[in-house]
């Protein structure tokens, strides 16, 4: 079978791999599509060389069907559609024992810490497989994982119907958070410096501003009639955005840190104290978030086609990262099976 591997030092290559049968407790996935995300971009740029073991077949936003079933696995049959929640926890650490398995202190993120979905046959623990309804096409289903991120972020925020939510960053996750928040009944505004991304956001009917040329605080005050945002999602990873969060939130508002910041950031703790703000982290997702993401996509409540910039064959994965790096795309899928209809 074919796959794509990261070889270290920023190098990608298409590889030929042996197909191993699924082990006990595993499913073998015939991967159809695999989405590329910001974490994959960090891997390809060499930013995670201290963590990943090379050569690494990466990728964790996959959809496909069951190709084979390992011993002891029940409830699945060959041909079933599925996606993969790429988290394996130990079940014994303090986080797991407290019910927070998704942020296990010894978490294995599949596709980063172990082989991922950029291969035509992928053996995964059956416990992390998530069934898909038969009427959800596999191209759309490749968005389940990033939608689950957004579902988790919105749920963690405590967002209510009628709330005003500001999303700092108009990349794929920022846009999905905005879409999920809007679906939940919130008023949403995105702040994004890139003009092409702002145009894509506007096409989705979401209010968008350029924080590099507008007075963000004044715009949010105008938008909320002087109240401030109920929820601020920091998705950009930029220092300036992190500094701005406390000025945008209303009294007893909530700030949700979604981005992975590469360094410590300045935050106005006086403002946190003065307005009794809540500052939350939101990382990955839980099983219920995946199931909700499947539901939203199945009900066509996520504009999947508007978010998918293109589909490339496995052999062109490297060029897809060029487009992502340059900001020319929102979400690119890799046609792992070699059956692209795009």
Catalytic residues: 39, 42
Contact between 209 and 216 (Cβ < 8 Å): yes
Which residue(s) pair with 312 in the sheet? 334
Q: Which pair of structure tokens corresponds to residue 252? A: 């007893």
Round to whole Å and give the CA distance between 124 and 86.
9
Contact between 174 and 236 (Cβ < 8 Å): yes
Half-sphere exposure of 199 (CA within 13 A, CB side): 6
Q: Does residue 133 come out as left (phi exceeding 0), alpha (psi in the -120 to 50 range) or beta?
A: beta
Q: Which pair of structure tokens corresponds to residue 201? A: 């956001």
Burial of 134 (0-12, 13-18, 19+ CB in 10 A): exposed
Q: Which pair of structure tokens corresponds to residue 139? A: 């191209």
């Amino acid at each position: 079978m074919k796959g794509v591997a990261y070889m270290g030092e920023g190098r990608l290559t298409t590889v030929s791999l042996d197909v191993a049968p699924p082990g006990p407790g595993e499913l073998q996935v015939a991967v159809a599509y695999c989405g590329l995300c910001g974490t994959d971009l960090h891997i390809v740029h060499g930013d995670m060389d201290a963590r990943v073991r090379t050569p690494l077949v990466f990728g964790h936003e996959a959809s496909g069907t069951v190709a084979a079933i390992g011993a002891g696995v029940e409830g699945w049959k060959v041909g079933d559609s599925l996606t993969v929640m790429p988290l394996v926890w130990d079940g014994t650490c303090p986080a797991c024992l407290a019910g927070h398995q998704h942020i296990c202190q010894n978490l294995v993120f599949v596709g980063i810490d172990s082989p991922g979905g950029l291969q035509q046959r992928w053996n995964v623990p059956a416990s992390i497989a998530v069934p898909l309804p038969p009427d959800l096409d596999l191209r759309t289903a490749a968005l389940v994982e990033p939608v689950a991120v957004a579902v988790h972020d919105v749920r963690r925020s405590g967002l209510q119907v009628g709330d005003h939510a500001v999303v700092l960053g108009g990349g794929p996750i920022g846009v999905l958070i905005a879409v999920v928040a809007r679906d939940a009944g919130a008023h949403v505004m995105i702040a994004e410096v890139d003009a092409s991304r702002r145009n894509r956001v506007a096409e989705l009917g979401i209010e968008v501003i350029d924080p590099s040329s507008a007075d963000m605080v004044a715009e949010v005050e105008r938008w909320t009639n002087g109240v401030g945002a109920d929820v601020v999602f920091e998705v950009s990873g930029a220092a300036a955005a992190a500094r701005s969060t406390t000025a945008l939130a209303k009294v007893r508002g909530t700030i949700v840190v979604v981005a992975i910041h590469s360094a410590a950031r300045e935050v106005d703790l006086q403002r946190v104290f003065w307005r009794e703000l809540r500052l939350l982290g939101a990382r990955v997702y839980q099983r219920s978030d995946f199931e909700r993401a499947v539901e939203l996509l199945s009900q066509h409540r996520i504009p999947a086609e508007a978010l998918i910039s293109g589909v490339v064959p496995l052999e062109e994965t490297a060029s897809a990262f060029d487009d992502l790096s340059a900001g020319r795309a929102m979400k690119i899928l890799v046609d792992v099976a070699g059956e692209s209809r795009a």
